[in-house]
Amino acid sequence: MTGSDIIITGIPRSGTSYLCGLLDKVKNNVVINEPESMSFHLSEESEPRAVASYYQAVRESILSGKEIKNKMLGGKIIEDTAFSQNFEMYHPSIENNNFSLCTKNTLGYLSRLDKFQAIMPKSPIFACIRNPVDTIASWKTTFDHLKKGLLATDFLIGSKKDIYLSEWQKERVTFIAKEDSEVRRRALIWAYLAEWIWMNRDRLIIVNYNDVVLTPETITKCILSETGNIFELDSAMKSSKIRTDKRQYLDEEDFAAIEEYCFPIAKKMGLLDS
């Protein structure tokens, strides 16, 4: 019996890497955090065939005893890519050939949400979301491309350069790319990504960051239940605190833009409770 393939995506800084860390604690479950060059490969094709090929190649490597590359530090998967982008080669531990394989990519996978069903119809997709206030506060204090709102202009995939976007996506990113204000661009990008996830909600399962932090074991079991297999946790998963400390870096203009552009879809998605 062939193991299941699980796809993890979501809005950047919404807990996707943290979720990868949780899933990595499950026996017979291999997690790859941001496969190298995946966004480049996706930018070269209209459908995510590179993703399906990658899953097959990684499975073959693991089963043949070869090392694979992953974002790791000290032998553990990186749970916060703002802290480190380090890649290491390693041998994943599996119990049998029926292991589940998870990979995570934010913008690349998000940009092709509407195409996965045709290429990987049996692979469940999970999209992480988070309160826009905390997400954008994190954007403002971590990666430069998030801080400056360059996702709509400078990236090979998901930006105005991406020729394979749907008409709705092209219209939105073209509009965002014309915005001069970094503050408004950040808010517009978050709203665009959230709306795209919401539009594709029948194709995926939305995962709230708050649930991942507060009930990690429940969320992990929910995700793995989609594979139809029974998994054993390596250890109990402890809940953590919802991080809101970076809100201090937002000013009045930030809050005004978030309220104007992000709150309507955030409210619809149940993200304004904290």
At 1, the pLDDT band (50, 70, 90 cuts) reads: very low
232-251 per-position pLDDT tens digit: 776 678 888 898 999 999 99
190-219 per-position pLDDT tens digit: 999 999 999 999 999 999 999 999 999 889
Mean pLDDT for 181-192 is 97
Mean pLDDT for 210-231 is 85
93-136 per-position pLDDT tens digit: 898 888 999 999 999 999 999 999 999 999 999 999 999 999 99
Pick from 202, 179, 207: nearest CA to 192: 179
pLDDT confidence of residue 170: 96
Stretch among 34-38, 125-129, 259-263 having the lowest mean pLDDT: 34-38
Cβ proximity of 17 and 103 under 8 Å: no
Pick from 131, 161, 135: nearest CA to 147: 135
The three-state DSSP-derived secondary structure of 155-219 is CCCCCCCCCCCCHHHHHHHHHHHCCCCHHHHHHHHHHHHHHHHHHCHHHCEEEEHHHHHHCHHHH
Mean pLDDT estimate for the chain: 92
Provide the 3-class DSSP secondary structure of residue 85: coil
Mean pLDDT for 17-32 is 91
pLDDT confidence of residue 84: 78
Whether 152 has a pLDDT exceeding 50, the answer reads: yes
Percent of the chain with pLDDT over 70: 97
The pTM (predicted TM-score) of the whole model is 0.94
Residue type, 138: S
Mean pLDDT for 58-72 is 94
Whether 26 has a pLDDT exceeding 70, the answer reads: yes
Pick from 130, 65, 132: nearest CA to 93: 65
What residues does each domain of the chain span? Answer: 5-268
CATH topology of domain 5-268: Rossmann fold (3.40.50)
End-to-end CA distance of the chain: 43
